[in-house]
């Protein structure tokens, strides 16, 4: 007797659940319920602009500019060989006072010995130290919180996420590094709008 050859079956498909199966609908209902709960938890709140702001004009911003400096702004300034105070004065054509919060200093200290020059620059006596009274040392939250409560600051950062968050606060100009020099975004005109 000859052996019978076993041939592999082609085009066989694994058994799959029917898309109309009840088990799948239960999963879908659970997912929809989670989505609804997440949307209800989101608070949709738009802050009203302060009375000192008239269109894009911020009356609290004046010639001795106070510039809140972020960690990466100091690092990129050193990489681009820009002296912070002089670069700010060249950009703004006025006296500028770089301000640094305790959170930014703590962040620089955490970065370790690689950023010791940036830390030395941040401890410069020309920098104004701003004490923080909140918990944690996350500098971005600290800067956004300070800017939204006090409208007298400019923010100097190269962090895209922080710039996106600060843009939501009306009347706050942003300073960043472009082509090896400082540039300002949204600086309001100092004259009265017509």
Give tens-digit pLDDT for 31-50.
888 888 888 777 666 666 65
Nearest CA among 143, 161, 160, 167 for reference residue 67 = 143
Largest distance between two CA atoms of the chain: 107
Across the range 112-127, mean pLDDT stands at 92
In the chain the first and final C-alpha atoms are separated, in Å, by: 106
Q: How confident is the model over 126-163, as pLDDT tens digits? A: 999 999 888 877 889 999 999 988 888 999 999 999 99
Strand partners of residue 160: none
Domains of the chain (ranges, CATH numbers): 62-185 (3.40.50.1010)
Residue 113, by phi and psi: left (phi above 0), alpha (psi -120 to 50) or beta? alpha
Nearest CA among 52, 85, 84 for reference residue 152 = 52
């Amino acid at each position: 007797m000859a052996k019978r050859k076993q041939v592999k079956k082609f085009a066989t498909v694994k058994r799959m659940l029917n898309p109309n199966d009840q088990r799948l609908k239960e999963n879908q209902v659970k997912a929809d319920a989670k989505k609804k709960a997440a949307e209800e938890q989101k608070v949709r709140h738009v802050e009203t602009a302060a009375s000192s702001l008239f269109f894009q004009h911020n009356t609290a911003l004046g010639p001795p500019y106070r510039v809140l400096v972020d960690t990466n702004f100091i690092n990129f300034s050193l990489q681009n060989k820009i002296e912070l105070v002089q670069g700010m004065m060249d950009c703004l054509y006025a006296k500028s006072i770089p301000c640094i919060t305790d959170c930014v200093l703590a962040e620089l200290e955490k970065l370790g010995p690689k950023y010791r020059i940036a830390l030395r620059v941040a401890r410069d006596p020309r920098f104004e130290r701003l004490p923080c009274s909140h918990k944690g040392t996350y500098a971005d939250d600290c800067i956004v919180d300070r800017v939204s409560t006090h409208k007298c600051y400019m923010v100097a950062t190269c962090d895209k996420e922080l710039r996106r968050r600060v843009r939501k606060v009306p009347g706050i100009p942003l300073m960043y590094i472009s082509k090896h020099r400082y540039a300002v975004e949204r600086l309001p005109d100092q004259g009265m709008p017509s």
